[in-house]
């Protein structure tokens, strides 16, 4: 297999070199020194051609007609009005959408106003472009300058959109960009954008009047070259451009930012040189270099920023919940894991695709490393199957979390039934994901019958205990004998059921000790489930008082203490039983009902004993303890002991 991989890698390298050679082929510029000489002559003779140009303008206006001239004058007046009346239009729109603005949350209003400004800035030229197209439909004249007017309107709309977008994002704190970095970049970027738009307009004007092809090629070269030098003014502002990058708490992003800071000027020199190569006719080479550098960096930043913004929204939601319940935390964790999986997968695939490594990596990793039946399995197919299976696992977690958080409470599904449904969905989606991943790699599912037979033999021989626990787990989950949230007692251990897995059940004791109880043990012995059908459990609190106390008064005090405790259920009234007349006390039992899912019996008994002691002390009721009086009589002689004279002392 190693030899086959090396051969395929050599083949891929040979094809790569074959594809690299055309990148260094130069595209002809389509002009020469003769073109430059003709341009010089035309520039020298331009003042002599002014009357001819004026005569052409007069002839074009005659072809347009009187009505058409009036329409164009009105159109030009609208253009000038839009240039100077843009603020007025914006204020009117803000007043008209004031009712909508009130309904928008406060944190989104700044984005709403910025979007409105950008919309107004690009809406006016777009409306004028629509009016121009309407005029063009009713006028038969199709002059060059008429077509040029439409092109200039398109450039105006595009320029207004870009400039106002830069203004709002760099100077208005829409993206939390520091002003000391955003404004210098905006000032330079504005002039760069205006120069580029002006260059494009100049080239379109030259095209509209059917100038020679070699002159257009020379003009395109000069304009492209000037745009490269003008853009260099923006790229040299290292501090301001790096200051635009946000501070994100991710190690990969910090590594990227440190590398950009260290190699910023070499990268700018590379960008400038590739721009010069573009102007010189090496467009394919420049395009490949830009794709494998700035396009990869831009895609990485875009995906990381999208992930960061979505994660911040998710964290803000969970913080807004205050002290969220377990369902909300489970939904938060599942969404975060799903978001991280999507971001990493998309970033990896996009990066490999932009670098041109996706197809070569697939070919190198597609050699079979093992055969299952007639189907070869390679590293590529295994990676593909792993991604599909992981996607199913994360999606199943999200589905179960959403059901727990949103669906089950709204339709009244109790926690135990919801847990049983979630467990079924978990293993169902796991099986579906496993079958889908196996099918995606081309594995014949009939081969699984061989593994099923081997698994059956293994279960019959060495995995009997494991299989018995799994079978018991299915019985517990779908038989609903034990559910998540139940309070159970196994032997002398009492605890809360956290999870019922296929092999074991996780139980947490009141001392916060988590125990893993095999499912077979739960089904083979007696289990006390305090919350199987009714969570109300009766607690016995024995109390003894002195014989000098009145029993009815003791009964009243005990009932008052029970009713005053907030953990005692009000669904069933507490009772007081007089159990017996003991040797030293009258023995009572206070019987109260508690919700075993909310509070433990030991805690309630402790609270009641504290309260009973205080109440008895306040009422003057004595809590007796066993007493014995010992009398030593004089004159008694043990057998074999000589008698002594004198009287013994009596002690008590």
Q: How confident is the model at residue 1 (pLDDT cuts 50, 70, 90)?
A: low
Given a cut of 90, is residue 125 above it in pLDDT? no
pLDDT at 645 over 70: no
Give the percent of the chain with pLDDT over 90.
9
Looking at 480-536, list the stretches that DSSP marks H as alpha helix, in order from N- to C-terminal side.
Answer: 519-524
574, 592 in Cβ contact below 8 A? yes
Please give the DSSP secondary-structure letter assigned to residue 404.
I
Distance of CA 236 to the CA centre of its chain: 35
Distance of CA 183 to the CA centre of its chain: 32
Residue 534 in contact with residue 523, Cβ under 8 Å? no
Is the model's pLDDT at 537 over the cut of 70?
yes
Phi, psi of 326 (to 5 degrees): -65, -35
Answer whether residue 341 is part of any domain. no
Write b or e for each residue in 434-473: b if 16 or more Cβ atoms lie within 10 A of its Cβ, otherwise e: beebbeebebeeeebeeeeeeeeeeeeeeeeeebbbbebb
pLDDT, the chain, mean: 78
Confidence of residue 245 (pLDDT cuts 50, 70, 90): confident
Does the residue 44 lie in any domain?
Answer: yes
If we measure between CA atoms, which residue out of 30, 55, 354 comes closest to residue 218?
A: 30
DSSP label at residue 443: -
Q: What is the 3-state secondary structure (H, E, C) of 280-349?
A: CCCHHHHHHHHHHHHHHHHHHHHHHHHHHHHHHHHHHHHHHCCCCCHHHHHHHHHHHHHHHHHHHHHHHH
- Give domain status of residue 445, yes or no: no
Cα of 479 vs its chain's centroid, Å: 36
Spatial neighbors of 84 by CB under 8 A, at least 6 apart, are none
Residue 495, SS3?
Answer: strand
Mean pLDDT, residues 554-574 taken together: 90
pLDDT of residue 613: 92
pLDDT bin (cut points 50, 70, 90) of residue 650 is very low
> Alpha-carbon distance 290 to 278, whole Å?
11
The domain boundary residue, chosen from 244, 267, 282: 244
Q: Would you say 586 and 578 are in contact if contact means Cβ atoms under 8 Å apart?
A: yes
Nearest partner of 244 among 355, 190, 166, 319, judged by Cα: 166
Is residue 169 one of the residues assigned to a domain? yes
The predicted pLDDT at position 649 comes to 40
Q: Does some domain include residue 404? A: no
Report the distance separating Cα 120 and Cα 109, nearest Å: 16
Task: Band the pLDDT of 93: cuts 50, 70, 90.
Answer: low
Phi and psi, residue 516, nearest 5°: -105, 110
> 78-82, 192-196, 556-560, 609-613: which range is least confident on average?
78-82
Going by pLDDT thresholds of 50, 70 and 90, the confidence category of residue 518 is confident
- How many domains is the chain built from? 2
Residue 596 domain boundaries: 536-619
CATH of the domain at 612: 3.30.70.100
Q: How confident is the model at residue 340 (pLDDT cuts 50, 70, 90)?
A: very high
Domain membership of residue 303 (yes or no) is: no
What is the rounded distance in angstroms from the CA atom of residue 484 to the CA atom of residue 498? 5
105 belongs to a structural domain: yes
Query: Nearest 10 degrees: CA dihedral of 36, 39, 43, 46?
Result: 170
**Is residue 197 in some structural domain?**
yes
Overall pTM surpassing 0.75 (yes/no): no
Q: For residues 383 and 361, is the Cβ–Cβ distance under 8 A?
A: no
Q: Which of 594, 582, 593, 595 is nearest to 623 (CA)?
A: 582
Among the ranges given (504-513, 519-528, 543-552, 631-640), the one the predictor scored with the smallest mean pLDDT: 631-640
More confident residue, 580 or 54: 580
């Amino acid at each position: 297999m190693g030899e086959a991989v090396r051969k395929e890698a050599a083949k891929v390298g040979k094809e790569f070199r074959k594809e690299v050679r055309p990148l260094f082929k130069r595209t002809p510029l389509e002009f020469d020194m003769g073109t430059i000489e003709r341009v010089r002559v035309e520039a020298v003779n331009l003042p002599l051609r002014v009357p001819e140009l004026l005569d052409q303008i007069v002839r074009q206006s005659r072809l347009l007609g009187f009505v058409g001239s009036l329409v164009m004058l009105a159109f030009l007046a609208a253009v000038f009005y839009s240039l100077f009346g843009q603020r007025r239009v914006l204020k009117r729109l803000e007043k008209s959408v004031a009712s909508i603005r009130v309904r928008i949350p406060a944190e989104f209003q700044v984005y709403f106003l910025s979007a409105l400004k950008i919309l107004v800035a690009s809406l006016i030229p777009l409306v004028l472009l629509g009016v121009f197209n309407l005029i063009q439909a009713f006028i038969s004249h199709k002059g060059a300058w008429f077509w040029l007017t439409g092109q200039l309107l398109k450039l105006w709309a595009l320029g207004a959109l870009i400039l106002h977008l830069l203004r709002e994002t760099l100077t208005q704190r829409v993206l939390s960009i520091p002003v000391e970095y955003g404004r210098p970049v905006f000032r330079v970027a504005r002039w760069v954008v205006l120069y580029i738009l002006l260059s494009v307009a100049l080239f379109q004007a030259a095209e509209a009047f059917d100038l020679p092809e070699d002159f257009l090629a020379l003009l395109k070269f000069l304009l492209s070259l000037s745009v490269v030098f003008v853009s260099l003014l923006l790229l040299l502002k290292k501090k301001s451009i790096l200051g635009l990058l946000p501070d994100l708490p991710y190690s990969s992003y910090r590594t990227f930012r440190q590398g950009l800071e260290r190699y910023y000027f070499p990268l700018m020199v590379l960008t400038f040189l590739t721009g010069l190569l573009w102007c010189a006719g090496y467009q394919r080479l420049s395009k490949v270099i830009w794709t494998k550098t700035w396009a990869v960096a831009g895609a990485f930043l875009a995906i990381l920023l999208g992930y960061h913004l979505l994660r911040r929204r998710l964290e803000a939601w969970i913080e807004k919940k205050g002290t969220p319940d377990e369902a909300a935390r489970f939904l938060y964790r599942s969404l975060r894991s799903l978001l991280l999986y999507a971001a990493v997968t998309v970033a990896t695939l996009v990066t490999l695709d932009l670098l041109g490594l996706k197809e070569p990596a697939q070919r190198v990793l597609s050699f079979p490393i093992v055969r299952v039946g007639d189907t070869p399995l390679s590293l590529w197919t295994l990676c593909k199957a792993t991604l599909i299976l992981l996607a199913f696992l994360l999606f199943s977690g999200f589905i179960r979390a959403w059901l727990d958080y949103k669906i089950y409470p709204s339709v009244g599904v109790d926690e135990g039934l919801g847990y049983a449904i979630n467990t079924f969905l978990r293993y169902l989606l796991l099986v579906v994901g496993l079958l889908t991943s196996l099918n995606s790699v081309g594995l014949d599912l009939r081969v699984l019958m061989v593994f099923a037979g081997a698994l059956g033999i293994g279960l019959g021989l060495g995995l009997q205990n494991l299989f018995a626990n799994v079978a018991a787990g299915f019985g517990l989950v779908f038989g609903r004998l034990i559910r998540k949230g139940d309070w159970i007692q196994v032997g002398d251990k009492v605890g809360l059921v956290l999870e019922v897995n296929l092999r074991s059940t996780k139980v947490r004791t009141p001392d916060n000790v988590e125990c893993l109880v095999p499912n077979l043990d739960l089904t083979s012995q007696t289990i006390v489930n305090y919350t199987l059908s009714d969570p109300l459990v009766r607690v016995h609190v024995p109390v003894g008082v002195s014989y000098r106390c009145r029993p009815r008064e003791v009964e009243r005090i005990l009932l008052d203490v029970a009713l005053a405790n907030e953990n005692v259920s009000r669904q069933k009234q507490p009772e007081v039983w007089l159990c017996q007349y003991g040797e030293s006390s009258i023995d009572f039992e206070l019987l109260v009902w508690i919700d075993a899912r909310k509070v433990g019996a030991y805690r309630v008994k402790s609270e009641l004993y504290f309260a009973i002691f205080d109440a008895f002390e306040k009422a003057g009721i004595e809590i007796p303890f066993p007493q014995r009086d010992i009398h030593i009589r004089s004159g008694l002689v043990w057998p074999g002991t000589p008698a002594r004279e004198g009287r013994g002392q009596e002690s008590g």
